[in-house]
Structure 1
Amino acid sequence: MGLFKKKAKTYSYDKERMKPVIKTSICTGEQVAGFKDIHTGKIEDIMLVKTAADIERFKKIYGIEGSIDKEY
């Protein structure tokens, strides 16, 4: 019987240099949430996305509002 909930940890990212993206495979449909460097175009993978709830969790952890662009 737990009386206290564990607080959800929030992380931050450099909003001037990085933008959140969902990288999607054309062949398999696998999706990965991460951040794309605006200057170099390199994508840093953060977490595997299996359901829409995973995307919402990613947005909540990093404080992202609105929609996230998909990259193929």
Structure 2
Amino acid sequence: MKISCSISFEQGLGERLMFFKRRIEKKTYDKSSKKPVIKSSICNGEQVAGFKDIATGAFEEIMLIKNQDDLVEFKEIYGISEEIEKIY
């Protein structure tokens, strides 16, 4: 016999409250040669968080930003407290 159990509470508008928050692994980047930016598509509005090399202008993609929570997570992972520049 197989028993599975999932516990969540329904909140207004279909939101779910989870008991455990996902643990965020902290990472670092070279602040002297790279700066955090959000690259936004002018066609479809897709946003990608990453780092722009200050010397070459090359963009390194790190994660897709689908909503505000993704942006907060990106900033927490890399310890970013300042506003992030948006490039197109």
Q: Same fold (TM over 0.5)?
A: yes
Pick from 14, 18, 26: which aligns with 1:10? 26
Cα 1:49/1:17, change in 2 over 3 Å: same
Gaps of 5+ in 1: none
**Moved segments of 4+, more than 3 Å:** none
Taking only the aligned residue pairs, the percentage that are identical comes to 57
Distance 1:7 1:24 in 2: 27
C-alpha RMSD of matched pairs (Å): 1.6
How many residues in Structure 1 have an aligned counterpart in Structure 2?
A: 69
User: Residue 65 of structure 2 aligns with which residue?
Assistant: 49
| Local SS of the residue matching 2:31 | coil
Letter in 2 for 1:26: I
Q: Which has the higher contact order (CA 8 A, sep 6+)?
A: 1
TM-score, normalisation: structure 1: 0.89
> 1:50-71, CA deviations, whole angstroms, 9 ceiling, x for partnerless residues?
0011000000000001210000
